[in-house]
């Protein structure tokens, strides 16, 4: 852990990154935050985000006395962005998550996930279900029903590479991220610096990991069935926190299925009618209150 845990700041993406450490994993170096002391909580981002997505939540959890681990998975955020697309397969991202927790000497932890981070997290549970003590599910991919990705390519090819390759161009990348943030929130206003925290990794080469995901939708859809079988075997307390206005992951399709499969109590289902996909931006205080109440049940 960093010596300056209590001084975590995020006014700029550079300040956020100044608290990161590095772990060498398959494919390169992975950046991560390991801050605070107490019960460990792992925060797994999705696409096209990074640990920056959780900055408000990280700050509040630290003040509540938790140890917070928040990686930038390979291909995202400040982490290395290798050219080989197979390095971004979900099972490999899961291996990196487990490698990080092994490196930190953390045997069990509460596990929060968002977006495609859910796919990586389901892979973690396929490999090591006993490592996770609690599940915190935030607008996460779990079923094909209600999963409406904004881009989908039927197969890998030059056209898809060209389109996604434009994302690292300064102005196009900004335009794409601005559109994603606007469509992924409800009446939420971002500052220029907040948007820059999302723009910068795009200009550093996040398009490779993004391309891998959007060209593997069919594989992901098929793999979801394996996760559903796994859900029935899990015996892990879980809570769902969801923005009802999400256009990419429709809660009324995903939530009932997850609740039945994981045996989640009604009191652990939390939906917000005035929030959308990036609920961490819109409801950070509420999310932290729910997490703390859930972990202290």
Q: Let me know if residue 61 belongs to a domain.
A: yes
The H or E element that residue 179 is part of is helix 170-183
Q: Let me know if residue 215 belongs to a domain.
A: no
**How many separate domains does the chain show?**
1
Q: What proportion of the chain, given as a percentage, has pLDDT over 70? A: 91
Q: Let me know if residue 57 belongs to a domain.
A: yes
On whether the CB atoms of residues 31 and 77 are closer than 8 A, the answer is: yes
On whether the CB atoms of residues 88 and 212 are closer than 8 A, the answer is: yes
Q: Let me know if residue 133 belongs to a domain.
A: yes
On whether the CB atoms of residues 148 and 248 are closer than 8 A, the answer is: yes
Q: What is the pLDDT of residue 193?
A: 96
Q: What is the pLDDT of residue 176?
A: 82
Q: Let me know if residue 156 belongs to a domain.
A: no
The CATH number given to whatever domain includes residue 52 is 3.40.50.1820
Helix, strand, coil % (nearest 5) of the chain? 50, 20, 35
Mean pLDDT of 248-255: 97
Q: Let me know if residue 195 belongs to a domain.
A: no
3-state secondary structure 94-117: HHHHHHHHHHCCCCCEEEEEEECH
For the chain, give the mean pLDDT: 92
> In Å, how far are 137, 184, 190 from 181, measured between CA atoms?
20, 5, 8
Instruction: Return the minimum-mean-pLDDT range out of 10-19, 176-185, 215-224.
Output: 215-224
> In Å, how far are 49, 169, 285 from 78, measured between CA atoms?
11, 17, 26
Q: What is the pLDDT of residue 175?
A: 84
Structural domain of residue 44, as residue ranges?
5-149+221-295
Q: Let me know if residue 176 belongs to a domain.
A: no
Q: Does the pLDDT of residue 70 top 80, yes or no?
A: yes
- Please give the span between the terminal C-alpha atoms of the chain, in angstroms, as a whole number: 27
> In Å, how far are 24, 33, 52, 197 from 10, measured between CA atoms?
24, 12, 8, 10
Residue in 153, 140, 281, 143 with CA at minimum distance from that of residue 217: 153
- pLDDT band at 4, cuts 50/70/90? very low
Q: Does the pLDDT of residue 155 top 70, yes or no?
A: no
Instruction: Return the minimum-mean-pLDDT range out of 88-102, 104-118, 137-151.
Output: 137-151
Q: Let me know if residue 47 belongs to a domain.
A: yes
On whether the CB atoms of residues 66 and 41 are closer than 8 A, the answer is: yes
The H or E element that residue 292 is part of is helix 284-295
């Amino acid at each position: 852990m960093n010596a300056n845990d209590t001084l975590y700041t995020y006014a700029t993406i550079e300040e956020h990154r100044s608290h990161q450490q590095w772990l060498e994993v398959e494919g390169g170096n992975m950046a991560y935050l390991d801050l605070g002391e107490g019960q460990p909580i792992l925060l797994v981002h999705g696409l096209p985000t990074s640990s920056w997505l959780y900055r408000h939540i990280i700050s509040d959890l630290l003040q509540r006395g938790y140890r917070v681990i928040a990686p930038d998975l390979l291909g995202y955020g400040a982490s290395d962005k290798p050219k080989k697309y197979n390095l971004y397969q979900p099972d490999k991202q899961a291996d990196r998550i487990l490698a990080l927790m092994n490196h930190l000497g953390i045997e069990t932890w509460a596990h929060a996930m968002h977006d495609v981070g859910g796919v990586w997290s389901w892979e973690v549970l396929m490999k090591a279900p006993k490592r996770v003590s609690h599940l915190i599910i935030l607008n996460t991919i779990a079923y094909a029903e209600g999963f409406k990705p904004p881009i989908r390519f039927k197969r890998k090819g030059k056209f898809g590479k060209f389109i996604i390759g434009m994302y690292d161009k300064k102005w196009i990348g900004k335009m794409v991220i601005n559109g994603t943030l606007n469509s992924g929130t409800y009446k939420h206003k971002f500052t220029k610096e907040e948007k820059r925290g999302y723009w910068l990794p795009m200009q550093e080469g996040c398009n490779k990991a993004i391309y891998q995901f959007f060209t593997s939708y069919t594989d992901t859809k098929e793999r979801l069935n394996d996760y559903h079988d796994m859900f029935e075997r899990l015996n892990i307390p879980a809570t769902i926190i969801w923005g009802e206005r999400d256009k990419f992951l429709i809660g009324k399709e995903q939530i009932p299925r997850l609740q039945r499969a994981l045996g989640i109590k009604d009191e652990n289902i939390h939906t917000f009618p005035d929030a959308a996909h990036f609920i961490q931006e819109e409801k950070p205080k509420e999310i932290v209150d729910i997490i703390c109440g859930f972990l202290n049940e």
